[in-house]
Chains A and B, each alone.
Chain A
Amino acid sequence: METIGTDVVIVGGGLMGCSAALDLSRKGRSVVVLERGFVGAQASGVNFGLLRRQDRFLPQLPLANRAVEIWHRLENVVGEDCEVEIRGHLRFALDDEDMAVIEDYAAGAREYDFEIEILGGETLRRRWPWLSDRVVGAGWSPDDGVANPRLVTPAYARAARAAGADIREEHEAVEMTHDGGGFRIVTQNGLEVRASIMLNTAGAWSYHVSANFGEPVPLTAIGPPEAVTEPVPYFIEPTIQRVGSPVVVRQVQRGNVIIAGKPRGIADNVTNRAYVAPRSTLANMRKALEVVPSLGSLNLIRVWSGIEAALPDNLPVLGPSLTTPGLFHAFGFSGHGFQIGPAVGVVLSELAIDGRTETPIEPFTMGRFADYEGEGSDA
């Protein structure tokens, strides 16, 4: 059996794990990442690619702002083009009630140094003439945007490897113990890793890790329904989403329009399959047409999904384990982890090195589920 001693062992090679691995490696720590499949192949790789801050839980904005700063220079951080496009996010209103929600949120966001510009209907249509007449106003955040999720995590992993991290794909952690001195992790193919610090970034499989250390959580596996049209010339620059609606629309520069929404489909983290319910696809298509009516003539050519993990309050767990010293969790991002991912990695790195971070993460404490005794995702 091969045995590796390392400062930090990271279970889960998604965006959170790989960005943590990069930061830790660059700060001179030895890191082993154990990924049961391939890096970035699940939630990190199959999501919509949305770098959106509007409508985020307000106390999460410091983390989101920190991520914006990283996204804007991502190519320098990871050394690869990940199709980051900062072209703004438009959260629009169809009536006064919607508008009040946008204005309330903008006022709250200002407290967190996030400026949202309020635009009226005429301004909107002058700038984006393809928007439906029904749109009466919007909140506009020009520093938000999109990135290609399929590229980002592998790019982080390669950068981390170049910085010295030992990244093992197809290594599933099957035994995890803490003996007071440190962690001992054994993989299905017989690799033993010993580390003083452990990060649980295992996405929909995080339940196994946390429960293993006496912290069960009500985590469920979900599959976001994503759909894409045939390519047409680029005209939708910002990402667009209605207040209170899960449907979000964007266009990639090469032409395809992507539509995401709800309800989330069935995801099976045992068979590794996630299904898109045809009815969700149809419902989301209809919603998209309410905003950009002229998309109606285009063809939908493909849907996809992947396995994400959600917690009942739709907030992640991010912070120290309450049972095991040296263990830190980051999971359950509930469908909005991509934007904050790079900042989560840095925060995890700070927690691993210093035991603390300047970024407020109290609302994401594991303590929310201290009384939970039930089963997790694949129950």
Chain B
Amino acid sequence: MAMDDPRVVVVGAGPAGVRAAEALVKHGLRPLVIDEAPLSGGQIYRRPPPGFRRTTKELYGFEAAKAEAIHRTFDGLTDVIDYRPRTLAWNVQDRVLYTACDDVVTPVSFDALLLATGATDRVLPFPGWTLPGVYTLGGSQVALKHQGCAVGRRMVFLGSTPLLYLVAYQYARAGAEVAAVLDTAPFSAKVRAVPKLLSNTSMFVKGLYTMAALHRLGVAIEHGVRPVAVEGDDAVAGLRYRRRGEGEVRIDCDAVAFGFGLRPESQLADLADCDFRFDPVFHQWLPQCADDGRAGEGIYLAGDGARIGGADAAEVSGELAALSLIEDLGGGPGDKARSVELSRRLSSLVRFQAGLAGAFPWPADMARSLPDNAIVCRCERVTAGEVRQAVQRPLGGGCEINRAKAFSRIGMGRCQGRFCGLSSAEISAAAQDRDISSVGRLRGAGPVKPIKLATVLDE
């Protein structure tokens, strides 16, 4: 598809989007970069609002140099790209991307679309998780990084992800009271994962450092726990949880931050008709793309929005996908040597992530044991019992997750199933004694985030 003035669009200005834009510019293109945030950097390298004073070292810790490099790179590009911050890409169809900014919709035709849409926390519900004071791990990190706030006075961190230790450490360092770090994975899972984790020594060492630092700060860390319920009438007052082989324990707190790794923001990939497959290692449905980012004609995926790899992998995959895109546009063979080098680095980083997935397993059993009256879909207030009823009712196909959605309203709300899609599939699978990969995934529907009804179309 050689063309004189190809229209290339990058969605997302995090590490993947920035490195992609950089590579595109280097090869003589002027991409359109669309980003929801007012400032580039994505979630991990999110920049503080004007007037904030912390240094990058205080904000990004170990990753300060990388954050600075990403920011510097993007700031150097803004004159040679078409940068549209505060802009939502809300739909894609027939090679047109629909964007919205200040309630004006602008359709953007493209020859190539590179989606670097990032990820959000992957969650599993437990009773009380909708109470004020319960946040995602990523959310609690952003509150501290972006606003200088702790999400509570006395924190409990819960989950199964390296972010659990990192955020708890950042909170403790910032002076927050960390009442406990509750890891749902048994310690043995981490020991078993060590060989794979050694594929990235520096990341592994940082992880160990974080855990040791928490110990040094006197933070209680428990392994192999299961949350029972958040307690509190109007807001979090405590957390009940179960220790392995022991009874229930209650801990006082006014905030719980939890998460079980990341899930890609893959809605646009879905609307662009990318293929999805269930990945048994990461235990979720992922949009399919080749290692070089190619995901269909004119569609490229990069970063955590394609497959969970972390920020370093995002940078590599962003550049790699851009090089594939350039090659496909007919701008010559691209930079073969560079592509090979990037592919090699990416596969090593992905191997490390697979190790992490083993060290921090997804506690699927929580869905099976979730009480019927627990809320699963926080947007539409759908309970686990309602999902099970939709699944078990004869006829109509409630066994398949989109049909269960039709009957129970699971995933019909504002967030489009981001935070209940996987857990409702787990509940459905458990209710049928089937493997989760056999119950399907919630299909995407536009708009990927709410758009105002009184929106103006700008052609």
Q: Do A and B come from one complex?
A: yes
Q: Are B396 and A300 in contact (CB under 8 A)?
A: no
Q: Are B446 and A303 in contact (CB under 8 A)?
A: yes
Q: How far is the CA of A229 from the CA of B403 in the complex (A)?
A: 21
Convert A271-284 into 0s and 1s, putting 1 for each residue whose CB lies closer than 8 angstroms to a CB of B.
00001111101100
Q: Are B396 and A38 in contact (CB under 8 A)?
A: yes
**A158 at the binding interface (Cβ < 8 Å):** yes
**A194 at the binding interface (Cβ < 8 Å):** no
**A154 at the binding interface (Cβ < 8 Å):** yes
Q: Are B412 and A45 in contact (CB under 8 A)?
A: no
For B395, give the chain A residue with the smallest CB separation: A157
**B455 at the binding interface (Cβ < 8 Å):** yes
Measured between C-beta atoms, what is the minimum distance from B140 to chain A in Å?
26
Pick the residue among A281, A285, A301 that contacts B413 (CB under 8 A).
A301
Of B394, B397, B451, B457, most A-chain CB atoms within 10 Å? B397
**B73 at the binding interface (Cβ < 8 Å):** no
Q: Are B454 and A289 in contact (CB under 8 A)?
A: yes
Q: Are A299 and B397 in contact (CB under 8 A)?
A: no
Which residues of B from 15 to 44 have beta carbons under 8 Å from A?
Answer: none
Contacts of A300 in B (CB 8 A): 447, 450-453
**B143 at the binding interface (Cβ < 8 Å):** no
Convert B365-409 into 0s and 1s, putting 1 for each residue whose CB lies closer than 8 angstroms to a CB of A.
000000000000000000000000000011111001001001100
**A233 at the binding interface (Cβ < 8 Å):** no
Contacts of A41 in B (CB 8 A): 396-397, 403, 406
Q: Are B403 and A38 in contact (CB under 8 A)?
A: yes
Stretch among A96-104, A110-118, A290-298 lining the B interface: A290-298
Q: Are A304 and B445 in contact (CB under 8 A)?
A: yes
Which residues of A from 288 to 319 have beta carbons under 8 Å from B?
Answer: 288-289, 295-304
Measured between C-beta atoms, what is the minimum distance from B174 to chain A in Å?
34
Q: Are A45 and B406 in contact (CB under 8 A)?
A: yes
Contacts of A11 in B (CB 8 A): none
**B276 at the binding interface (Cβ < 8 Å):** no
Pick the residue among B105, B407, B416, B453 that contacts A298 (CB under 8 A).
B453
Contacts of A303 in B (CB 8 A): 445-447
**A40 at the binding interface (Cβ < 8 Å):** yes
For B415, give the chain A residue with the smallest CB separation: A301
**A171 at the binding interface (Cβ < 8 Å):** no
Pick the residue among A39, A282, A301 that contacts B105 (CB under 8 A).
A282
Pick the residue among A38, A158, A278, A296 that contacts B453 (CB under 8 A).
A296
**B344 at the binding interface (Cβ < 8 Å):** no
**B98 at the binding interface (Cβ < 8 Å):** yes
Q: Are A281 and B446 in contact (CB under 8 A)?
A: yes
Of A275, A279, A295, most B-chain CB atoms within 10 Å? A279
Q: Are A302 and B412 in contact (CB under 8 A)?
A: yes
Q: Are B394 and A158 in contact (CB under 8 A)?
A: yes
Q: Are B453 and A275 in contact (CB under 8 A)?
A: no
Contacts of B393 in A (CB 8 A): 154, 158
Q: Are B395 and A161 in contact (CB under 8 A)?
A: yes
For B451, give the chain A residue with the smallest CB separation: A300
Contacts of B98 in A (CB 8 A): 278
Q: Are B397 and A169 in contact (CB under 8 A)?
A: yes
Q: Are A296 and B450 in contact (CB under 8 A)?
A: no
**B57 at the binding interface (Cβ < 8 Å):** no
Which residues of B from 415 to 459 have beta carbons under 8 Å from A?
Answer: 416, 445-447, 450-455, 457
Contacts of A68 in B (CB 8 A): none
Which residues of B from 269 to 286 have beta carbons under 8 Å from A?
Answer: none
**A325 at the binding interface (Cβ < 8 Å):** no
Measured between C-beta atoms, what is the minimum distance from A253 to chain B in Å?
13
Contacts of B403 in A (CB 8 A): 38, 41
Contacts of A157 in B (CB 8 A): 395-396
Of A37, A150, A276, A295, most B-chain CB atoms within 10 Å? A150
Contacts of B453 in A (CB 8 A): 229, 285, 288-289, 295-300
Measured between C-beta atoms, what is the minimum distance from A78 to chain B in Å?
12
Q: Are B416 and A301 in contact (CB under 8 A)?
A: yes
**A81 at the binding interface (Cβ < 8 Å):** no
Pick the residue among B93, B96, B406, B452 that contacts A150 (CB under 8 A).
B406
Q: How far is the CA of A158 from the CA of B398 in the complex (A)?
A: 13
**B266 at the binding interface (Cβ < 8 Å):** no
Contacts of A295 in B (CB 8 A): 453-454
Q: Are A278 and B91 in contact (CB under 8 A)?
A: yes
Which residues of A from 139 to 167 have beta carbons under 8 Å from B?
Answer: 150-151, 153-154, 157-158, 161, 167
Measured between C-beta atoms, what is the minimum distance from B299 to chain A in Å?
16
Q: Are B452 and A296 in contact (CB under 8 A)?
A: yes
Pick the residue among A228, A277, A298, A302 that contacts B93 (CB under 8 A).
A277
Q: Are A299 and B450 in contact (CB under 8 A)?
A: yes
Q: Are B407 and A151 in contact (CB under 8 A)?
A: yes
Of A38, A167, A169, most B-chain CB atoms within 10 Å? A38
Q: How far is the CA of A154 from the CA of B406 in the complex (A)?
A: 11
**B107 at the binding interface (Cβ < 8 Å):** yes
**A373 at the binding interface (Cβ < 8 Å):** no
Measured between C-beta atoms, what is the minimum distance from A160 to chain B in Å?
9
Q: Are A38 and B400 in contact (CB under 8 A)?
A: yes
Given A150-B406, A298-B453, A299-B451, the answer on whether A278 and B446 have CB atoms closer than 8 Å is yes
Measured between C-beta atoms, what is the minimum distance from A49 to chain B in Å?
12
**A375 at the binding interface (Cβ < 8 Å):** no
Q: How far is the CA of A346 from the CA of B319 in the complex (A)?
A: 63
Contacts of B395 in A (CB 8 A): 38-39, 154, 157-158, 161, 167, 169
Given A41-B403, A151-B407, the answer on whether A301 and B414 have CB atoms closer than 8 Å is yes
**A175 at the binding interface (Cβ < 8 Å):** no
Q: CB within 8 Å of A: which residues of B?
A: 90-91, 93, 96, 98, 105, 107, 393-397, 400, 403, 406-407, 412-414, 416, 445-447, 450-455, 457
Which 4 pairs show the lowest CB-CB distances between chains A and B?
A38-B397, A296-B454, A154-B396, A299-B450
24 contacts between A and B (CB under 8 A): A38-B397, A38-B400, A38-B403, A39-B396, A41-B403, A41-B406, A154-B395, A154-B396, A154-B407, A157-B395, A158-B394, A161-B394, A230-B414, A275-B93, A278-B446, A282-B105, A289-B453, A297-B453, A299-B414, A300-B451, A301-B414, A301-B416, A303-B447, A304-B445
Q: CB within 8 Å of B: which residues of A?
A: 37-41, 45, 150-151, 153-154, 157-158, 161, 167, 169, 228-230, 275-279, 281-282, 285, 288-289, 295-304
Name 11 extra pairs, CB < 8 A, besides A296-B452, A299-B453, A301-B416: A39-B397, A154-B393, A158-B393, A228-B412, A276-B445, A277-B93, A278-B96, A299-B450, A299-B451, A300-B452, A302-B416
